[in-house]
Chains A and B, each alone.
Chain A
Amino acid sequence: EAGVAQSPRYKIIEKRQSVAFWCNPISGHATLYWYQQILGQGPKLLIQFQNNGVVDDSQLPKDRFSAERLKGVDSTLKIQPAKLEDSAVYLCASSLSTIHEQYFGPGTRLTVT
């Protein structure tokens, strides 16, 4: 069974630029999560989708971050414009449903200079 796929693995941008991350969850997984992991900290949930609907985006900085999950499968997370403090690893995870185990992707390491 293929795992959660993410791309790109690494991205370096300058502040005020835009960036987008892509996630392909495990086939059949209805729930998809985006986490932000700042160096030295544990992951923090940004947004949770159930199929193509948003369940929780309470910690998503909506003035600059946006996310979508078209057709309830792949998802993209966008930052526009980026700030220095957005430097982090962005993790995507998926699960069969909200009560099942979450499987994590390899993450995208973003550096904002």
Chain B
Amino acid sequence: AQTVTQSQPEMSVQEAETVTLSCTYDTSESDYYLFWYKQPPSRQMILVIRQEAYKQQNATENRFSVNFQKAAKSFSLKISDSQLGDAAMYFCAYRSGGEGGSEKLVFGKGTKLTVNP
């Protein structure tokens, strides 16, 4: 079974600075997807960024980028120029990509990000 580990329960960053959230995963599959989701307090979960395992290039979305190290099974999220609105729980998630695999998302326990003004 696939597992996702987020080793940082909490992180904090100063506004306008850069922060990196860590995620490692365990799988024997070669075809899969990785995601970072953001869950603000009392608000719904939204997708921040996704990475296909077959792509070597790291995904980027505006101020958000990932460092995908397939061999190390590592998938970190970098937030540049942090803003107060970035404060939230961030979840790393895994999904199988191959035929016959489950398309369900497997989530880590999350990292609570605080942004200090």
Question: What is the interface of chain A, defined by CB distance below 8 A to chain B?
Answer: 3-4, 31, 33, 40-45, 48, 55-56, 91, 98-99, 101-102, 104-107
Given A42-B93, A56-B102 in contact, is the A106-B107 Cβ separation under 8 Å? no
17 contacts across the A-B interface (CB closer than 8 A): A3-B44, A4-B44, A31-B103, A40-B109, A41-B110, A42-B4, A42-B108, A42-B110, A43-B91, A98-B103, A101-B47, A101-B50, A102-B47, A102-B105, A104-B46, A106-B43, A106-B44
Given A41-B109, A42-B91, A42-B93 in contact, is the A99-B45 Cβ separation under 8 Å? no
Q: Is the interface of A mostly helix, strand, loop or mixed?
A: loop
Given A42-B4, A42-B91, A42-B93 in contact, is the A104-B105 Cβ separation under 8 Å? no
Q: Is the interface of B mostly helix, strand, loop or mixed?
A: loop
Task: Tell me, yes or no, whether B104 is within 8 Å of chain A by CB.
Answer: yes
> On chain B, which size bracket covers the interface?
10 to 19
Question: What is the interface of chain B, defined by CB distance below 8 A to chain A?
Answer: 4, 43-47, 50, 91, 93, 97, 102-105, 107-110
